[in-house]
A and B are shown apart, each in its own frame.
Chain A
């Protein structure tokens, strides 16, 4: 079973219909007065967390203070972290702050991202690969493709996302510097902007197990940093990422770095669906690379960030301004991608929207759905607890809802008003 990282606080949920109507995979229903998430359909995009007016949805993360048993704690900050602070002049201040709150070392995801950029350029030159190549960095997108776009599964770049590469390199560095440490002494902590990455780390990817030990929320770390960040002092650590690595935090940063103008970058699930539909139908010719981020604005728009994504992006522009383009380059004679950087597994196709395993039963159910849908008012009010009249009809046929829950029909029957609003 896929372990999700979006959870509901039932005591806060009022059973309003905001989340059911905005969930991009129609994974939520209101049952017995509160939201219920269908785990098969959820892609951990965090849209429901973003929109819940009662803060009843939250991302499950670990608390830094609960993992103090590691002798050597390494922080892996997502570059989105750097966009959270007003007037930040250089990244070193934030990295020093991470040491000050109790981490023993820092390994920037942004610097691993620069390596991924380099390997992406190599990968795009590989003969016989399916184009356009789709970025593997956003786990919500990878899961969306495995649920809805099976034909595009082998367009996903087989290179591991920057967080995994950062984790592997951080551990290697720690072991080199501290040969006396056992593997269990070293704890790799990813500071995550979103629940999708939390899920990716908890579940791994097919047979691949994540190399990250603990995922903490960017929000939690932000508040801890607020108490220790001192401007004007000279940090003892220095950042190892340039413009490219930090650019990965917002939409278009990854794609523009491959130095090929035949790219597309889209953010927000609705836009992503449109782009994937167009690619599947062959309507966007000659594209080499596609970067898709489930969150508006890219990772800076993650629901575990503090600042508005567009403000964060502007802040990152000033942080990046005087940086070198990239601090992580491959040696000139490097012409292949090491196996340790690759994931050779395609995401598994999960036909979750299929009505039944039997085709004839699916046909029968679909015909039933069409009949019920014609009876329903078609106003998609959500009061029945399903996101639309169509989904309600499907829920009825699947046996998870009853038509008596339609208050528009009920009202019409009670008042004798046969005008169904159509």
Chain B
């Protein structure tokens, strides 16, 4: 089997309350594929954090989840402000989220570190003023 499957989601930047929907949809699709529960959870957490980030910082974006024989790739792409200092952004507790968002319980500076923690690989490609693309991979040890 060489075919891979792509699930595509638009993350709506206008609506804070719908953030997390793509993560729930991904979970359902991965269950249909019979992916192991712990992998589903890892993907779901990384997706959720990514979605929230896109809503808070970038006004939304797009998420693609690509399932192949041996791995799941997640590509999150937005046209937001970009990340000026990626190393700093990866530090736990560092956040540029506005107070309005923090008062809702978001913006704890754990999003990116959490994504890295649950994925096997993660790369961030970002240009200030242009946008950010995050690519994450988790391997399926079957």
Contacts and interface: CB of A to CB of B under 8 A. Distances in A.
Interface of A: 148, 150-151, 277, 280-283, 349, 351, 353-357, 359-360, 362-364, 366-367, 370, 394
Nearest to A362: B33
A366 B33 contact: yes
Contacts of B48: 281, 283
Contacts of B31: 148, 351, 353-354
Contacts of B3: 363-364, 367
Contacts of A148: 31
7 contacts: A281-B41, A353-B32, A357-B34, A362-B32, A362-B33, A363-B33, A364-B1
A359 B142 contact: yes
Contacts of A349: 37
Nearest to B110: A282
Nearest to A284: B105
Contacts of B40: 151
B85 interface: no
B39 to A, nearest CB: 10
B64 to A, nearest CB: 13
A360 B24 CA distance: 23
Contacts, number: 62
A351 B34 contact: yes
Contacts of A357: 34
Q: In terms of DSSP, what is the predominant structure of the interface of chain B?
A: helix
Given A280-B44, A283-B20, A363-B1, 8 more contacts: A150-B37, A151-B37, A151-B38, A281-B41, A353-B31, A354-B33, A359-B142, A363-B5
A151 B41 contact: yes
B79 interface: no
B132 to A, nearest CB: 21
Nearest to A277: B24
A394 B31 CA distance: 14
B82 to A, nearest CB: 26
Contacts of A151: 37-38, 40-41
Contacts of B28: 353
A110 to B, nearest CB: 36
Interface string B11-43: 000000000100110011101111001101100
B34 A362 contact: yes
Contact of B23 (A150, A281, A351, A356): A281
B106 to A, nearest CB: 10
A366 B32 contact: yes
Q: Which 6 A-B pairs have the closest CB atoms?
A: A360-B1, A354-B34, A150-B37, A362-B33, A353-B31, A281-B48
Contacts of A277: 20, 23-24, 27, 44
B67 interface: yes
A52 to B, nearest CB: 26
B3 to A, nearest CB: 7
B45 A281 contact: yes
Interface string B41-63: 10011001000000000000000
A148 to B, nearest CB: 7
B69 interface: yes
